[in-house]
Structure 1
Amino acid sequence: MVEKLTYVDEVRCTVIGVKVIEGHGTTIDVVLVNGELHEGDQIIVCGLQGPIVTTIRELLTPHPMKELRVKGNYVHRKEIKAARGIKITALGLENAIAGTCLHVVGPDNDEDAIKESAMEGVKSVLSRIDQSGEGVYLQASTLGSLEALFELLKLPAGTIPVSGVGMGTVHKKDIMKAGVMLEMTKKEYAIILAFDVQVTTEARELADEMGVGIFSSDVIYHLFSQFKDYIENLP
């Protein structure tokens, strides 16, 4: 236990959330367990479309007595030492995945090796997408939540195929992706299973217009129940 709690210089940092903050754009909330982060550090984080290579623009922490998730002004830091919760601003974070590791690229590091390491966690999830392009669409808040959804779809009657996955709030673009099943005459798969994420008003309106179903819940068993009823009542 002492060894696990001992501070070391090697950076260990986990992305716990991806949020759009007014005045800062898309940011990531991270927990820095070991090491230090600095403004200007080159970092690599896992993304659904591949590794995201970017540079830390700002390191932000909440004012004393405020939590990181509480809206308001932040304290700008030039560098931060573990252990600490931090909000990071940088370009290209829109597709970052919560529940994965953040890596710092040092002058002597192999960037390609770090990219490969950053994507390890998501490879198993992406490999489970049906190669035929048919299936339901999954949307979740974290990588672990996506994995839980895949397990949910292993119903007694057989595995329900998955055509694609997304992270964070359900937007119109996600509805369009799920709506491809309508063009493929697979209406029963024109479904989004949204676990622990918000759905925008515009997305719901487009889903109603297109005929795409949205099942949403922050409790996976409730989501499972909704979807199971849907499957059992298919003609």
Structure 2
Amino acid sequence: MALTSLAIIAVAYWLGLRERSKIDAEKLAAYKLEIASGEAVPTVQVTWRLWFNAALTLLLMVLLIAEVADLLVLFMVAFVIALLVNIRAIGDQQDLIKRQAANAVPVMILVLAAGVFTGIMTDAGMIQAMADAALAVVPEGWGNLVPLFTAILALPLGFFMSNDAYWFGVVPVLAESASHYGIDATEIARAGAIGQILHSMGPTSAPLWVLLGLVKADLGDFQKTALRWGVPVSLAYIVFAVLTGAISIA
């Protein structure tokens, strides 16, 4: 993961240099001066509300980990408390909800659709059939390569499938098949996690839809650029995992 992070930083640095070369030198100098003067970053007043919001967020995380109540209930209660504390006027509260609804509604629809998709594929047995068919490609004498095959398979599956369908439907089947070759399930989980880079660029990634909505970008245009770098970095991730022994091939 550390080596892959360095590879991602290297790609980001190179892309930054490439984009910087397209900016007019005078404008770039003006931006640097604005950043150095502190005018580019608005000052934030530290009030009791800031500390209250931080404490509320921390408490919410603790309650989520402790599983005190359902995730939906905890988030709704925390949202209401934060809304009442930070925005007193009802009209302002309604305006805030209206502004954020445009980003929230598509994500809700996506999550519901992903749940339906996961349920159909899991209960119909299609996910297990897909995993079995994929493993059938591996020759009998190549059982030691199941972790590597899982890592390679994780790239397209992670991109097209929701995390629920992938982690609860596909990975357990792969882990069960790998156990017949004496391969620990933890190793299959590490191999499966490699697909998360491409998952963040896929159509079933809810945060991606929020981001695209905020920056007014098209999914297709984003993927044309992102996949050009995401695929090589993911392949490098596989190479690093093999070289460090995170996944075995022997």
TM score, norm. by length of structure 1: 0.26
Higher relative contact order (CA 8 A, sep 6+): 2
TM score, norm. by length of structure 2: 0.25
Structure with a larger share of its residues in strand: 1
